[in-house]
């Protein structure tokens, strides 16, 4: 590893959204680095337009070259490539199928999925659509829709019976939605795919519900102990996705 290059990259990474400006000595003190070395690094970045120096305050901030580089990276972002590591880690920690579902008007669409080699046959796949009242993945979205939307949906949508365990009674669904709101997560068993237990958490962007994140597997593997252990892991993965969306200003919508 090139020590000088490594130090230089550490310097430029100090310029963040929360701290966009630094004085030279201030930066050297914060990084516990020699003042002369810091100034040489800053001058090199400045000569290449990666950093600019305010002529009045003498403080440094990111320059146009850094902005151009950032925009090139931003424009080349592949959404699924960004979120895939989070889903992959969730899959590794739980050992069960992982689904990222997005809201599209009055339906849910499976946006991404990671499944084990010994997967069971699910009723959903990437790109498939499902109604919002069936199962944890979709009810975790419906639960956080506006009240008038929920009432109109339950009163007008055809509540089809997919399996013998599908909940189709509007009052029962209202109660289930309230439980999801109170707990912050939902669970279902065999409502859309027989013998499958799913646990899901809602996904928000700028305080608006946009989808859900789900872990699901066969009921013989999804013990109560495993469910209890998976819920905080699921919530952590959801929070990581939300942080990524904010950091990269991503709009994960269909």
Q: Which residues pair with 188 in a beta bridge?
A: 198
SS3 160: coil
pLDDT at 160: 93
The H-or-E segment that residue 67 falls in is helix 64-75
Distance from C-alpha of 190 to C-alpha of 195, rounded to nearest angstrom: 5
Question: Tokens 């209890």 belong to which residue?
Answer: 228
pLDDT at 14: 95
Q: Which of 117, 114, 94 is nearest to 221 (CA)?
A: 94
Write phi, then psi, for 213 (nearest 5 degrees): -120, 130
Domains annotated on the chain, with CATH: 3-75 (1.10.10.10), 79-247 (3.30.450.40)
Residue-wise DSSP of 102-151: EEETTEEEEEEEE--TT----S--TT-EEETTSHHHHHHHHTTS-HHHHH
Q: Which of 40, 48, 34, 42 is nearest to 60 (CA)?
A: 42
CA distances to 39, 46, 190, 239 from 217, rounded to whole Å, are: 56, 54, 10, 22
Mean pLDDT of residues grouped by 10 in the chain (254 residues)?
90 91 95 94 95 94 90 69 90 94 93 79 77 96 97 95 95 97 97 94 94 95 94 97 82 61
CA atoms within 13 A on the CB side of 212: 30
pLDDT at 119: 61
CA atoms within 13 A on the CB side of 41: 24
**CB count, 10 Å around CB of 244?**
16
Distance from C-alpha of 38 to C-alpha of 32, rounded to nearest angstrom: 10
pLDDT at 74: 65
Enter the tokens of residue 147. 């009240």
Q: Which of 229, 213, 210 is nearest to 221 (CA)?
A: 229
Distance from C-alpha of 25 to C-alpha of 39, rounded to nearest angstrom: 9
């Amino acid at each position: 590893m090139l020590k000088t290059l490594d130090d230089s990259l550490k310097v430029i990474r100090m310029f963040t959204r929360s701290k966009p400006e630094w004085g030279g000595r201030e930066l050297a003190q914060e990084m516990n680095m020699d003042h002369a070395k810091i100034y040489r690094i800053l001058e090199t970045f400045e000569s290449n337009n990666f950093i600019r120096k305010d002529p009045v305050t003498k403080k440094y901030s990111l320059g146009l070259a850094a902005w151009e580089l950032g925009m090139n990276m931003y424009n080349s972002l592949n959404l699924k490539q960004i979120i895939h590591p989070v889903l992959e880690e969730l899959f590794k920690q739980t050992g069960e199928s992982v689904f990222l579902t997005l809201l599209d008007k009055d339906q849910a669409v499976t946006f991404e999925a990671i499944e084990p080699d010994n997967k069971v046959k699910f009723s959903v796949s990437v790109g498939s659509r499902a109604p919002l009242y069936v199962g944890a993945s979709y009810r975790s979205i419906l639960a956080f829709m506006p009240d008038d939307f929920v009432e109109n949906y339950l009163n007008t949508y055809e509540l089809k019976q997919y399996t013998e365990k599908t909940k189709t009674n509007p009052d029962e669904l209202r109660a289930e939605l309230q439980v999801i709101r109170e707990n912050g997560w939902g669970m279902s068993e065999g409502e859309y795919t027989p013998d499958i237990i799913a646990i899901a958490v809602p996904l928000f962007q700028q305080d608006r519900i946009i989808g859900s994140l789900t872990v699901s597997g066969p009921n013989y593997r999804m013990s109560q102990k495993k469910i209890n252990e998976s819920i905080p892991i699921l919530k952590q993965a959801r929070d990581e996705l939300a942080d990524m969306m904010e950091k990269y200003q991503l709009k994960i919508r269909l």
